[in-house]
Structure 1
């Protein structure tokens, strides 16, 4: 009876998570392909901050409509710390803006506000390579450390978002996470002493409602700084999660099962 209850719950969750949209940008995915730059050449353009410091927008050169993701760095960290993993995400068929925060010392709540401000600014752009390429109905957030905490707060405060990915998140509050309805991937490192998984990522994962799609892969031996590179399995997990929930593309579900030898632990309420 208990097994049946959990099975039905998982099926219901998966059906609820499957949005009305279903966009297939790019060829059928393989794990090897997800671990490399994607099929889309991208261009970049600078954007002036309006409620955030400044930003760089990466967009596919191929005409089309792409989901938009804003990415925030961590405490005392530059925008450039998020370039590698964010630019790779863009090459898989997304418009991605990496931001510089108003100050290097902004805490998660401020970073949440700045992520949302960046989405508002970028989706209003009508010039440059990104013009005409955004599906403004599909927006997501991502970030590292305090930017990861800001990501979780932004998701909790903005149910209209479609995806969130938080790398090694740091925060002192779970208030907004407790009401979050946005699908969230939290990616931690087992050797992180700045935002240890037990007192941060796991706590945040537990706070997110069971009715919200969520997963927590923990990378064996990874320290707090793993998101500053397009390292694996962080990068492909980010791509697969964003494909699954920002695009509604179920071809990527198979890469969200935790079956990677590089993980020291994995929990989720999937299948997705």
Structure 2
């Protein structure tokens, strides 16, 4: 796999002590504030704002979040179905360097008749922005959403408890994604495990149309040309049924089909990254991409959501 350069930046200088012995506490407080400001203005992996230890990577820009690769070099390891129980194995993508400590993690399920290869592009794309990403195979290619939801949770448990990269993961910062029935599965997973920090269903399909039980911040991505899981009977009612008090959003892709998530898609990547950063990493630097609400464009048919976010 191609490696990508790990960007770096100068470390902050220690806050300057008061020049004279008799300086009072006010000078010390000012120095402390200056140190925090210095940390928050750094721009590369390894720079974490003191008030949020989960921040990873440089201050985001539109170009950076839309890029095919982010600031982290990425490594990959495969997991055989014979080595796991409860799901079908898959591929784990993770930042190569351990300099920044642990990362949040995301499990991603394919759709009906799909394998992990159908959503594999999300692995390095998300991992290069500072996540451990597990694109999974399901037990069979025809598993229904409730089964895929359980498999996503089994994959997260394997990732944090048994995998070779478990030491790189903060097990309190986890999310789920999925395409089609895998997207319906990500709703099932969020319903079953409220501790999840983020869910991103992609052109989701599910016979259950209402999700008032979900308390996980959820971004639902639909497609205006979806004839398999039409937004009017899937993505839109899913979104509308989420609690109005929840951090939630609905992104409808313009001129796109049900299979938009199966190939590299900058709009899907951009808003998925922003959502995962904002809610898995509590990184408010990414709020700028979500609030104010994105406007219709060549790639966005519609975007709904609550702003500002509450969590």
TM-score (norm 2): 0.78
Q: Secondary structure at the match of 2:97?
A: coil
* 2:137 pairs with 1:137: no
Match of 1:163 in 2: 198
Residue 266 of structure 1, CA deviation: 1.1
The count of corresponding residues between Structure 1 and Structure 2 is 250
- Correspondence for 1:31 among 53, 59, 62: 62
- Bigger drift between 224-233 and 193-202 goes to 224-233
How far has the Cα of 1:217 moved from its partner?
A: 1.0
Cα pair 1:168 1:186 within 8 Å, conserved: yes
Secondary structure of the structure 2 residue equivalent to 1:111: helix
- Flag structure 1 segments of 5+ consecutive residues without an equivalent: 1-19
- How far has the Cα of 1:32 moved from its partner? 1.1
Rg larger for:
2
Cα RMSD, aligned residues only: 1.4
Report whether the alignment pairs 1:189 with 2:189. Answer: no
Query: Does the alignment pair 1:270 with 2:304?
Result: no
TM-score by length of 1: 0.89
Deviations along 1:27-52, one digit per CA (max 9) or x if unpaired, are 01011111111111111112233200
- Residues 126 and 56 (structure 1 numbering): CA distance in 2 closer, same or farther, change over 3 Å? closer
Q: Is the 8 A contact 2:105 2:173 kept in 1?
A: yes
Query: Relative contact order (C-alpha < 8 Å, sep 6+): which is higher?
Result: 1
Q: 1:85: Cα distance to partner? A: 1.9
- Structure 1 residue 68: deviation in Å? 0.9
Task: Give the conservation status (yes or no) of the 8 Å contact 2:112–2:182.
Answer: yes
| 2:132 equivalent among 61, 77, 95 | 95
Q: List per-residue Cα deviations over 1:40-89 (Å, max 9, x = no partner).
A: 11111122332001111111011121001100000001110111123200
Give the CA deviation at 1:126: 5.6
The 1:223–1:22 alpha-carbon spacing in structure 2 relative to 1, beyond 3 Å, is farther
Structure 1 runs, 4 residues or longer, greater than 2 Å off: none
Change in CA separation of 1:82 and 1:126 when aligned onto 2, cut-off 3 Å: closer
Once the two structures are superposed, residues 205-247 of structure 1 have per-residue CA deviations (whole angstroms, 9 ceiling, x without a partner) of 0111111110001111110111112212111100000000000
* Conservation of the 8 A alpha-carbon contact between 2:92 and 2:123: no
Whole-Å Cα distance in 2 between the matches of residues 104 and 204 of structure 1?
23
Task: Tell whether 2:108 aligns with 1:71.
Answer: yes
Structure 2, unmatched stretches of 5+, are 1-50
Q: 1:249 aligns with which of 256, 259, 283?
A: 283
